Structure 1
Amino acid sequence: MALYVLLGFSAGLPFYMFSTVLSVRLAEHGVVLAVIGFFAWVQLLPTFKFLWAPLLDKYDVPGFARFWGKRRGWIMLSQLGIFTSMLAMALTSSDASLPLTALFAVLLAFWTTTLEVAADAWRIELAPTPEEQGPVAASNLWGYRTAMVAAGSGALLFADPLGSIAPTLQSFGIQPGWTSSYLLIAAAAFVTLPILALLPRQPGCTGDRATSLVTGTLVSLAILAALAALTAAVGWLLLGAAASAGISSQTNMTTPVLVIAMAPFLVMALLTPRIRKLAPDSGPRASAAIGPYVDFFWRYGFMAIAVLAFVSVYRMGDVLALVLSKPMILGLGYTKTQIGWADGAVALISSIIGVGLGGFMAAKWRMSLALTVGALFAAIGNFGFVWLAHQPVDQNTLYLATAADQFGNGMAGAVFVVYLSMLCNPRYPGAQYAFLSGFAFMLARLLAGAGGQIVARLDAAGYSGFDLFFLASGVVSLAALLFLPLLARAKPRPDDREVAQA
């Protein structure tokens, strides 16, 4: 449990830096709301982690794995990637080149996601039952949400040159600003790496600590450089294609986004009858690349479609609020320092309580009841932003809205992690959890990317765009509960490979 507090902290620190904090940074630099919404699509990268998750189950990181094993080797590589990406974002904090900002945000998102894939796979292997998963998932989320709060609060406080802590920073020779903020979080993210490096040798490994560390670091730096070059090339091609197609901040992307979101459901529905008939030794089921995902549909059949529909909307409110809540609050007249203090102790305490209760509920209650209570409190948090928008600017009011949001999302998040973990086949813990958790946020993140345009168009039509946006996001999260009576019948069929081998 202590280890998973640490791993959660490692993954949570960078997340706000390419999501919420980045949206505030872009808003301060005069980037229009529609483009800020497009930057939310950086958060889509975790949705597609199933594309490379099988690699983490199949391959080791040269050097690191010889002493620390497969899972810790990938975690250490990912932490190096997080540190270097955050340094790059610090050095380009003026956002003079938005494509360059996007490149480093994508790299930061990729390595953060890879860290989560490796840590999740290890967690499912270590805790295979709901009773074991509840405490471990809560520990992981405690670390994760604590780090998110620390990163979001600390970054905003450090970034505000007129804030209350600015004189203290300047007395130590630190100039408040975005560069200082990203350097601070990069340093904090790096701390976990030497702690992991000091852990004992993984059972079954034979390598020497010093040799494994040096070799692993050199190989990792080469991997980081190669991936950065590849990502830059792909990004250049995509931006060129978008420009050629006439896509700009004025382009209505809402309809294409919804079509993209619905396409996976249609494809999976068409393929499910064939998947159900596959033999144990068939190519798709035996494939290292697609076997874990074929297995999920083979086990659940058409009920897998209902499961994926449910998980894709259950956390909708949390994702949508993450992207646009801070620009809305800034627009109400709150300062970065006020937001930073709200995202500090208030958010941390309420989130820890919510996560703890959620982990307890997942371990002790019927899963359907735990999911229902979590969704109710998460929706209340979204509705709280609508209430906040109609109150006078007051720090205590902001504290209350922030506490409601973090408590509800912490509770719903803990229950959701255990639910997804129990859907996984122990044969493929890393790949299947990556698929489920990635798909769970795909629709929400697609819509979040178009959120800026949606709000702007509602405002232009004479409505209160933010009010309708946060009301709708909370209602959609509650609508996910309509799936629960159907999902109660979602039982996986037994794996026939043990029978075939016997």
Structure 2
Amino acid sequence: MTAASTFDEAPPAALHGAGRLAVFGLLGFSAGLPFYMFSTVLTLRLAEHGVALAVIGFFAWVQLLPTFKFAWAPLLDRYDVPGFARFWGKRRGWIMLAQLGIVTSTAAMALTASDRSLGVTALFAVLLAFWTTTLEVAADAWRIDVAPTQDLQGPIVAANLWGYRSAMVAAGSGALLVADAAGWSAAYWLIAAAAFAPFPVLAAMRPEQDRERGRALALATGLLASAAILLAAATLVAAIGSVVLAVAARLGIDGGANVTPYVLAICLVPFLAMAAALPRIKRAAPHSRLRTSTAIGPYVDFFWRYGRGALVLMAFVSIYRMGDVLALNLSKPMIKALGYSLTQIGRADSLVALVASMAGVGMGGWIVTRWPQAWTLAIGAVFAAIGNFGFVWLAHRPPSEAMLYVATAADQFGNGMAGAVFVVYLSMLVNPRYPGAQYAFLSGFAFLLPRLLSGAGGVVVERLDRAGYAGFDLFFLASGLVSLAAIAFLPALARIRPRADDR
């Protein structure tokens, strides 16, 4: 990777109007396609192979990786991908590299679909999550560059989420239908092939500058550089994973361990660290190393601008989508336990989920352009909670595909609406000086606590069941109530204003 010549990147001249919406819809599709393959689809695959519910819960921690995207997001602002960036620009260069990472990781999961070694399964799931997240970071930065105001963000966010959610639904549904008919390997090969489809489209797009020569050389150089980067990333993840598994074994963490107290303690650490650092950050001068550092400067800037209000903002963003995340990892194992087949779940996750999700995203994208911010956030939280309560309702109905469709539609509509509203809200919090890094930090932190708790969800449900309670019922009731709890923050959020930039 090479250092970028400029920090900001202007969009191509043709990227406007319908073309702009189409491009970001495609980018949303690229990021959404692999998501279920390391989350919901993977949980069903593990369940089919007899993996314990508690261990399936642990696999939710693979989804923690997007939470830490702030750790490498500054690299995407600072460095170029050789070959790709020279011709297509910094943002698209990273997007193209990430797509290659998604394809190779999905293919590797197809080759290891028997899950004989859960460590190997986890390795490729982590790599798939890493490259999917890298794609999102690059695309989000480009989106904020192109549309710096709320009015411009609304349609682009809607287009991006339409692409994202349509790909998620298509991948989730298609993978399950194929898995039921031809096995898990075939399902992952199908998604790997589909994940490659956007790459030639981006490669055929106009160059970043007014140059038409050199496309073939840039593509060849980019592919060679990408191969080296992908191999290095896989080696690094394998090494880190080996250390993590060794430490877990030494601590006695396995499918029978009660990890909930440890997870709750870890959840407090980020807030304690932020509170401790805030006084020093507030006093930092414009040219202090804290604020000018490439690695941490963008994140220090956020706390400098919002002061103590930053703690309230971080608490709010950490619980706004918590209900959705808690439900995601265990909803499919619960539905499978109710007696539904993979084909029935796949049909529910196809047209029903797609239409409901699109409607929710469209409604969210529409109301943010017309209603006050607090109202849109509150409405999104209410519909997200209704989606979680729908799983409790489903559990007390005799197995019926029609009832499954109703619960799926409620869940997808609520997720879509809350997601669209939340993306616009986070986009308005960032400093345009650091769009990629700050959005990565906020959107990553938003899922830190939910995904930590989600990993312990399987243990919680099993222990509730052993104690004589309906574990799934209480779990999904609690997740819905957490979504509603976010509304209590809205009066405080309305009073928070950022400090004026002093540079």
- TM-score above 0.5: yes
Task: Summarize deviations over 1:167-217 as a string: whole Å, max 9, x none.
Answer: xxxxxxxxx010010000111110000000000001377871110000000
Q: Does 1:277 align with 2:283?
A: yes
Q: Does 1:468 align with 2:488?
A: no
Normalized against structure 2, the TM-score is what?
0.95
Match of 1:423 among 389, 406, 429: 429
Task: Summarize deviations over 1:199-244 as a string: whole Å, max 9, x none.
Answer: 0001377871110000000000111011101111111111111112
Find the aligned partners of 1:420 and 1:205 in 2 and give their Cα distance. Answer: 35
Q: How does 1:246-265 map to 2 (within 5 A)?
A: 246-265=252-271
Report the counterpart of residue 119 of structure 2 in structure 1.
Answer: 99
Report the counterpart of residue 41 of structure 1 in structure 2.
Answer: 61
Task: Summarize deviations over 1:16-72 as a string: whole Å, max 9, x none.
Answer: 000000000000000000000000000000000000000000000011001000000
Report the counterpart of residue 86 of structure 2 in structure 1.
Answer: 66
Give the counterpart letter for 1:140 in structure 2: N
Give me the CA root mean square deviation.
0.8
Q: Does 1:244 align with 2:264?
A: no
1:281 alignment partner, SS class = coil
Percent of matched pairs sharing the same residue: 70
Change (3 A) 1:429 1:207: farther
Give the counterpart letter for 2:162 in structure 1: W
Give the counterpart letter for 1:100 in structure 2: V
**Is the 1:69–1:205 Cα contact (8 Å) retained in structure 2?**
no
Aligned length: 483
Report the counterpart of residue 179 of structure 2 in structure 1.
Answer: 159
Match of 1:18 among 27, 38, 46: 38
Find the aligned partners of 1:224 and 1:355 in 2 and give their Cα distance. Answer: 33
**Is the 1:75–1:118 Cα contact (8 Å) retained in structure 2?**
yes
1:496 alignment partner, SS class = coil
**Is the 1:66–1:205 Cα contact (8 Å) retained in structure 2?**
no
**Is the 1:66–1:206 Cα contact (8 Å) retained in structure 2?**
no
Find the aligned partners of 1:91 and 1:51 in 2 and give their Cα distance. Answer: 30
Q: What residue ranges of structure 1 are gaps of 5+ in the alignment?
A: 162-175, 498-502
Match of 2:409 among 403, 406, 409: 403
Match of 2:224 among 218, 224, 227: 218
- Greater shift after overlay, 7-16 or 244-253? 244-253
Change (3 A) 1:437 1:447: same
Report the counterpart of residue 207 of structure 2 in structure 1.
Answer: 201
**Is the 1:71–1:118 Cα contact (8 Å) retained in structure 2?**
yes
Q: How does 1:134-213 map to 2 (within 5 A)?
A: 134-161=154-181, 176-203=182-209, 208-213=214-219
How far apart are 1:317 and its partner, in Å? 1.2
Find the aligned partners of 1:191 and 1:210 in 2 and give their Cα distance. Answer: 18
2:33 alignment partner, SS class = helix
How far apart are 1:362 and its partner, in Å? 1.2
**Is the 1:67–1:207 Cα contact (8 Å) retained in structure 2?**
no
Task: Summarize deviations over 1:242-288 as a string: whole Å, max 9, x none.
Answer: 11222111111111111111101011011111101111100010000
**Is the 1:138–1:356 Cα contact (8 Å) retained in structure 2?**
yes
Change (3 A) 1:207 1:457: farther
Find the aligned partners of 1:229 and 1:418 in 2 and give their Cα distance. Answer: 36
Report the counterpart of residue 81 of structure 1 in structure 2.
Answer: 101
Normalized against structure 1, the TM-score is what?
0.95
Report the counterpart of residue 172 of structure 1 in structure 2.
Answer: none
Report the counterpart of residue 392 of structure 2 in structure 1.
Answer: 386
Task: Summarize deviations over 1:425-473 as a string: whole Å, max 9, x none.
Answer: 0000000000000000010000110000000011111100000000000
Give the counterpart letter for 1:195 in structure 2: V
Find the aligned partners of 2:365 and 2:268 in 1 and give their Cα distance. Answer: 31
